[in-house]
Amino acid sequence: MLDDDNDGEHIEDWRPIWLERERATARLIQRCFKLLMDGHETAPEKLHALCKLTWITKGNGEVADNTRSVVIPALEVLLHDELSATDKPSLRKELLEANTPTEIIEATGHDVGFVNFYSAFRNTSQKWIAANRDAVWNALSTAATARNDADAQRAYRIVDKLPSLPRRNGGDLPAFNLLTPVLACLDPRERSPVINSREAVKHRLRRLGLAHGTLVEQFDGLVNLINQAGLDGALALDTAADDALEAAFQARRAMPEGVVVQRPATSRSLGPRQDEDIEFLRAEVLEQHRLLHNKMTNALLGLCQRAGLPVDEGREKSNLFDALLRHYMGTERDLLVELKTSHAPAFCRLAVGQLLDYRRQLDGPAFTDIAVLFPEPPDQHAKDFLGFVGAKVVWFSQDMARIEGDVILKGAIMMRAEAVKLGQALLDHHQAATASLPPHSVKRLLPGKYTIPYARLCEQAGVPHVLRTVGSFLGEVAEWCASRGYPPLNSLAVNGTTRLPGDGYDGAGGFHIVNWPANVEQCIRFTGYPATFP
């Protein structure tokens, strides 16, 4: 998108026009990518042509007609056809004569392209794509088939692992500048944000406290802004004025460290729910649903109290939310939870409407995630729908002693699903390593005989995509161990090159790097771990 250097009086004029341009670009790229998928065509020049369709050209500081310089050359590659057209009318005529799919012809009738991509990389980017073709294809196809935010997030993880585009003279260019505009266009839900070096994007990331975050963390932060401030998609977010988002941001992260923000009294501490103490209930809800809702509320309250998580409930008539878990992952992010006693479609749809309305009334909605909590695992339809709109899906275990799903809560700690998988992989590794080399059989225990590299651990856990951020998940494993008085299982995970734990080890769960060798020995000699995690 263009830099936000327009005069205020022109803002109302250009933003809707530019948004339509971005969406026209998305329609064209989606149609062209479908041809590639149908023909199993992954040639680097075709992937480069898709990227090219997102580019604009400028002349004398103004956006120029890019039909001849960008669109036609890209279509020649994508359609296997030489085109003699020089403008939109002649292009349409030529495509009609060539029996080009109608959807593509219609899409080329609009202005397309919205990224002023760096000219120094426009030609060399094709060579870079050729060197990374498989990963680029995987990222694009993952975005094109995304059914929920988790699917789209995987595409950004792939991009985050790619090397930068090199430049002989000057700095290299991170891959997200080239690829995320295409991901944004390919996502059929329009929930994949453009993340590039444009100042408006950097400003939003700074406001979210994510200027130095990973690409996946930036994805999570930006996608949460969608459906706020009237933004109905990622491309609407890309063209939005900063003042339109100001209400969502508030000033939570702008406060100096250690300063407590005084919040309006819109909530109160969540208290035990008595069956007769129901402030608001739809008349048509059956008695068993009322009783189950109370049981779920009390179970959630108990879990949060054991985990030391502050949890509120709504007190204003217009914002009677079920539960708001403050700083639920050890960060400044909150989790707004709507309890539903059934995963029937009507209940799920109602939950989404309630969550979106409740969140907009909170202070700092940009820092608030949303979730629906069920008494049991919901069916795939419910998971797909809620994932599609960006809501986390969680449910109680049968004994209501644990919350599972997109967020794990049990006993005294809250964990993400990836941390649970890593914890189980560490338990399995601990069992295998001690069986292969029993610690009682050696006088001097050498840590290197029992540790496991991060990469192999992630592979064995089935979460290779978290390798670059594995430390944060292992920190949750450390907290779990500390809460039970166990030696730290995460002490067995090390950097494959240094054979030492990373910086994130120090302090996690109260364990410290200076004691790491002793922690490993304690872990290996410990026989009280359970067979399953957590």
Residues 502 and 460: beta-carbon distance below 8 Å = no
Phi/psi for 10 (5° steps) reads -100, -10
Q: Can you tell me the distance from the alpha carbon of 471 to that of 503, in angstroms, rounded to the nearest whole number? A: 8
Q: What is the pLDDT of residue 364?
A: 75
Query: Which pLDDT belongs to residue 366?
Result: 80
Cα distance between residue 185 and residue 180, in whole Å: 9
Give me the pLDDT at residue 436, please: 85
Burial class of residue 109 (count of CB atoms within 10 Å of its CB; 0-12, 13-18, 19+): middle
Q: Which alpha helices (H) appear in 145-286, and where do they start and end?
A: 149-161, 176-186, 199-207, 215-223, 234-239, 242-249
Among the residue ranges 70-74, 304-308, 456-460, the one predicted with the least confidence is: 304-308
pLDDT at 11: 43
Instruction: Give the mean model confidence (pLDDT) for residues 471-482.
Output: 87
- pLDDT band of 262, cuts 50, 70, 90: very low
Burial of 481 (0-12, 13-18, 19+ CB in 10 A): buried
- pLDDT for 7 equals 36
Chain centroid offset of residue 245 CA: 19
pLDDT confidence band for 261 (50 / 70 / 90): very low
22-36 mean pLDDT: 93
* pLDDT higher than 70, residue 494: yes
Residue 148, number of CB atoms within 10 A of its CB: 19
The per-residue pLDDT for 334 is 86
Is the pLDDT assigned to residue 6 strictly greater than 50? Answer: no
Mean pLDDT for the stretch of residues 290-294: 88
Query: In which region does residue 61 sit, left (phi positive, over 0), alpha (psi from -120 to 50) or beta (all else)?
Result: left
Residue 41, pLDDT score? 83
pLDDT in tens, 141-174: 999 998 888 889 999 999 999 999 998 887 899 9
> pLDDT, tens digit, for every residue of 207-239?
888 888 889 989 988 998 888 777 888 999 999
Domains of the chain are 8-249 (no CATH), 268-275+285-411 (3.40.1350.10), 416-525 (no CATH)
How confident is the model over 333-380, as pLDDT tens digits?
789 999 999 999 999 999 999 999 999 888 878 888 899 999 999 999
Give the tens place of pLDDT for each residue, 300-318.
998 888 777 888 999 888 8
Distance CA 23, CA 278 (A): 46
77-81, 278-282, 408-412, 424-428 — most confident range: 424-428
pLDDT, position 329? 67
Question: Residue 288 has what pLDDT?
Answer: 76
Write the DSSP assignment of 92-118 as a string of letters: HHHHHHTT--HHHHHHTTS----B---
pLDDT band at 410 (very low <50, low <70, confident <90, very high): low
pLDDT for 413 equals: 61
Instruction: Provide the pLDDT confidence category of residue 22 given band limits of 50, 70 and 90.
Output: very high
Q: Detail the DSSP E strand segments found in 379-492.
A: 392-396, 402-405, 407-410, 413-416, 452-453
395 neighbors 379 (Cβ within 8 angstroms): no
Evaluate if residue 30 carries a pLDDT over 60: yes
pLDDT value, residue 171: 86
Model confidence at 53: pLDDT above 60? yes
- Identify which of 192, 179, 181, 188 has the alpha carbon closest to the alpha carbon of residue 145: 188
Residue with the bigger pLDDT between 433 and 258: it is: 433
With 80 as the cut, is the pLDDT of residue 401 above it?
no
Rounded percentage of the chain residues whose pLDDT exceeds 70: 89
pLDDT of residue 446: 84
Q: pLDDT, tens digit, for every residue of 168-203? A: 887 899 999 999 999 999 999 899 999 999 999 999
Query: Residue 414: its pLDDT value, please?
Result: 66
Pairwise CA distance, residues 144 & 179, whole Å: 13
Higher pLDDT, 275 or 43: 43
Mean of the per-residue pLDDT values of the chain:
85
Query: How wide is the angle at C-alpha 219 spanned by C-alphas 214 and 221, nearest 5°?
Result: 95
Which has more confidence, 272 or 215?
215
What per-residue confidence (pLDDT) applies to 274? Answer: 57
pLDDT computed for residue 252 by the predictor: 46
Q: Is the pLDDT of residue 259 over 50?
A: no
Distances 261 to 206, 255, 324, 343 between C-alpha atoms, Å: 19, 8, 17, 36
Give me the pLDDT at residue 330, please.
61
Which tokens hold the place of 211?
């200027």
**Cα of 285 vs its chain's centroid, Å:** 35
Please name which of 491, 245, 233, 504 lies closest in space to residue 360, comparing C-alpha atoms: 245
